[in-house]
Amino acid sequence: MQAEIVRLTANEVDIKVLNGAKMHILQWRRRFFYDEVLLDGRSQAVSRGFTGRENVYGLVFGRDDEGRGGDQIMFIIDPIADAAHWFSSHQKLSGIRLEMAKGPILAYGSLDPKSLEKPTNFSDWMKKTLGMEW
């Protein structure tokens, strides 16, 4: 199984998921009072509330008509805006992660294990914290 981010904004995420020869579209939408997760255009989960909405969702790809089988995936999202883009017109989420039992298939931003690595020198620190390169 493979996954790729197609669109990433502050309120919308579209992810292309390839499962063998089949392609699925996983979408996350932030509305004013609820968040919604859609798979191939069908609502899978809704999280309501003004604050403290759910950030971890369980999905199954490739289930048969009786609801058996398929691949289980955990979809985790960090909906806080990325600090490097707070005042930009191109705001986007801090992190996204799709994970199966055998390991992650997509990790981005604050939910990527590489984001936890400490910088080795000042130049790396500037790049990581301020998005600046020398």
DSSP H or E segment with residue 128: helix 122-130
Residues recorded for the chain = 134
- Report the C-alpha gap between 124 and 134 in whole angstroms: 9
Mean per-residue pLDDT, 32-44: 90
Tally: H helices and E strands in the chain: 1, 9
Residue with tokens 């309501």, as numbered in its chain: 48
Q: Are 76 and 96 in contact (CB under 8 A)?
A: yes
Residues in Cβ contact with 102 at an 8 Å cutoff, skipping those fewer than 6 apart = none
- pLDDT exceeds cutoff 60 at 85: no
Number of Cβ within a 10 Å radius of residue 60: 14
- Report the C-alpha gap between 67 and 51 in whole angstroms: 33
At 17, the amino acid letter reads: V
Looking at the whole model, is its pTM more than 0.85? Answer: no
pLDDT in tens, 9-29: 888 999 999 988 889 999 999
Identify the band that residue 94 occupies on the pLDDT scale cut at 50, 70 and 90: confident
